[in-house]
Structure 1
Amino acid sequence: MSYFQLKLEAWIEDVNREDGFTLRLFEKITDTMFFLIKWAGIPFVLYLFIEISRW
């Protein structure tokens, strides 16, 4: 149990740091999600506009 507690305390300390690994990881994840949504979403919206204009 103490091993788990030490790991949890180290993770909490990392989260509270301004340049911690956890925050950099979440930043990378959100940047990747934004990139995918942007480059997959824009062509899809254009396709929808083309299909709607055919009505």
Structure 2
Amino acid sequence: MKVTVLKLSLHGQLVGYLAGFQNGKNVFSFSEEFKENLSRPTLSLITHPTFPFRII
């Protein structure tokens, strides 16, 4: 099975990894350092089905 991995960072700090599997499943894993840092920058993810498109 083929897996593609994307390393995600925010303001120079490692946030985690997004793994995309051949079967279409995606898994996001936060890094321990990001989870434990109480002064970490805010991360928000848009998951609305029409993003990034707008229906007029």
TM-score range, shorter chain: under 0.3
Structure (1/2) with the larger helix percentage: 1
Q: Given the two structures, how large is their TM-score scaled by the length of structure 2?
A: 0.20
Structure (1/2) with the larger strand percentage: 2
